[in-house]
Each structure stands twice: as structure tokens, then as C-alpha cells.
Structure 1
Amino acid sequence: MTGKDDFLQSICTRLDGKNYTYWGYVMKNFLRGKNMWGYVTGTKAKPSMPQTENFDMLLDAWETDNSKDITWINNSVTQSIGMQLAKYDTSKEVWNNLERLYTQSNFAKQYQLEYDIGALQQNDQSIQDFYDAMSDL
């Protein structure tokens, strides 16, 4: 696989709003493996000193890598979630927004989870499938 094709590569897990914890784990490891996690955490900060030697080149490289992160994240979320991310310019903003949206602890979410767990039935599922469904909740 060439470097050009590598730009399009992403993870197989798609964030659908219910699987943030697992998606975040997989995406974080994917970005770490690409040496791109620093754009999400902010440790690879956008160059801000125009008088610095090679500033234009450094800024261009940062914007390219930041855009790769955003593209990889967008390629791993549902379209409705991706559309909400269009207003953010940095992968750090994108990540922070997703984290804020899907890790909130609130009573409505807790009620929904308790309801879903109570309503879950094995029916004709195998024990393993039922266990997996329960674990997902």
C-alpha cells in the first residue's frame, strides 16, 4: 500500500452514538499507530510564530496532518454524526466535541440504559450472543 492510499485507510468500527467507548479506544490506537494522536491532544500544536524560519512549510505540514486526522475520524462515524463535525477546524475540537457528547453522564441516559437492560431478552439467541448484547449495554 502506498502512502497516498494510506491517507484513506481508517478503522472498521463506526461510531453510531452508542459505542463511543469502544470506538474511542480503537480510534485512539489507530491515530497513535500513525503517530497522529498529538494533533488530537494538542501536543502537536499549530505553528503560531510567523517570523519563525520555515513557518509556511511548518504550517502547511500541520494543516495537512490535522486534516488527515479529521478525515480518518469522519470516515469512522455515521453520516449524521459527521455532519455535526463540519463546524470544527481541528481534530482536537472534533475529538473534544465527540467526547463531550457521548460521555456525558445524565439521568435520561441512565434511564434509557436501565430500560434497555430490563427489556433485553435472550429469545432464540445463543448464550454468547445474549451475553454480548448485555455487555454492549
Structure 2
Amino acid sequence: MVSRKDDSLQSISVQLDGKNYTYWSYVMKNFLRGKTLWSYVTGVRIKPTDETATNYANLVDSWEADNSKIITWINNSVTHSIGVQLAKYETAKEVWDHLARLYTQSNFAKQYQLETDIRALQQNDMNVQEFYAAMTNLWDHLALTESAELRIFEPYLARREEQRLVQFLMALRNDFEGLRGTILHHFPLPSVDSVVNELLAEEIRLKSKADKGSVTPTTLSVFAAPRQSPPSNQNRPPPKVSSDECAFCKEKGH
């Protein structure tokens, strides 16, 4: 049986909200396996019923303690509204089976939804790192729908990496059009991770360029040459006297 030294009730960091069951169940299954308690969920380890067995009372106490601990871990990793639904169940297996019935979709349905979300995702106002994290999250969920055979089939993994690269590049902002065109002509095609490194450097370069090129109207007015006002009448030269006028009487003709 499990050592009673492990009394921590802290569960996994992923919280089941009804939309992420595939990932949540994956993390929780591995968590319980690490505690050597997964057999309680599968029903392999059931509550002792043979009252004539040696140390029967201790066996029952130990089983109930582990069973209650698993239920508590599960309750601590789901939203309140989901946790309320679990109160009617007594065993960890019943709790797990209920959640599986409620949230398990066919692989095709999950794949369809994830593929749709991937195609709809655009970088928009996200920086490169934020966009990469959002896209990676969808890719990881989609990978969970793949069969075990596909996950070790090298040609499929290579094709999947190319597809991810295309999806990522297509969803980038037009700011990266130049770099995108260059990457598409690489042979062999780079990995998504190496492309992200290039994009991060390009993002810094574009930001620096934008900061240097941002000149406000006020700044422009400082460097603009001052306008010169037309000369005043006092500075104008005296009008020329016609050669036909008399210098004394100002009459013409003599």
C-alpha cells in the first residue's frame, strides 16, 4: 500500500473547466500514477470485502484513506460547478467515470474543434512569444488525439512539423512579411522553434526602427526653418523718378 507519509492534498495545477478534459485527464492520470494510486480509478484495487482476512480493519482503513485522497485531489482540480456534481459519488472510480462520460468526445470531434481553432487563431495584437504560446497550446491538445502509432512514426512527425510551420507563418501579422518569404524558401525547412527565434529578433529590430522613426509634429516644428516676413515699407527703396518730370515742380514737358 501507499506510504502514509504522503499526506499532501495539493493537486495538479491544471483546472478542469469542461473544455480541457483531454489535457486535464492526461495530467491527472500521470499524477495518480506517480502516487501509485491509478489502480483505484481503474477499479483494479477495490475495497476489501473479506472480513475474515488478516488485518481486515487496517486494509479497509488504508483503502478508504487513499480513495478519499484521490477524490479530494480531483475536487481540488475542477471548477466549483463541476465539483458540486461529484458529491453524490463514494469512490474515485465513480468520480472519474462520471467526468469521462460527461466530457469525453470522440477523437474526430475533438480534432475537428482544435483544427478549427488553429485556423481561426491570428497574431493580431499579440507579440511573438504570446502568439507562439497560444498556438503551441492548441497543437499540444491536438497531439493528444493522435494514436500511439502515429506519435512514433517519423515520416508523420516530419509532416506534422511542416504543417505547424505553415499554420504559424500564415497567422503572423504582415509586419513579418519579408522574413516570412525568406523562411518559406529555406531548404530544408526550419523547425518552428528556430523560426520563433528569428521572429523574436525581427520583432526587436522592427520595434527599434519604429522608435527611431517616430517624429512628432512638435519635433518637426523645432527643426523647421523660420518663415521670413516681407520687408516693411520703411526699408523699401524710394520710388524711381521718371526722367520726364521736372525735378522742381514735378510737371512734365519742360
Structure 2 counterpart of 1:31: 32
CA change 1:26–1:112 in 2 (3 A) is: closer
Deviation (angstroms), 1:50: 1.9
Structure 2 counterpart of 1:130: 131
Alignment of 1:104-119 (within 5 A): 104-105=105-106
Structure 2 counterpart of 1:68: 69
- C-alpha separation in 2, matches of 1:125 and 1:72: 35
Structure 1 counterpart of 2:89: 88
| Secondary structure in structure 1 of the residue aligned to 2:88 | coil
Select between 96-105 and 30-39 the one with higher mean Cα deviation: 96-105
**Which protein shows a greater Rg?**
2
- C-alpha separation in 2, matches of 1:118 and 1:58: 53
- In the superposition, the TM-score normalised over structure 1's length comes to 0.80
The alignment's C-alpha RMSD in Å is 2.7
1:5-35: CA deviation from partner (whole Å, max 9, x where unpaired): x432211111111111111111111111111
Residues matched between the structures, number: 135
Q: Which runs of 5+ in 1 are unaligned?
A: none
- C-alpha separation in 2, matches of 1:109 and 1:10: 26
Deviation (angstroms), 1:126: 3.0
Code of the aligned partner of 1:61? S
Structure 1 counterpart of 2:5: 3
Identity of aligned residues (%): 68
Deviation (angstroms), 1:129: 3.3
Code of the aligned partner of 1:3? K
- C-alpha separation in 2, matches of 1:9 and 1:103: 25
Code of the aligned partner of 2:105? Q
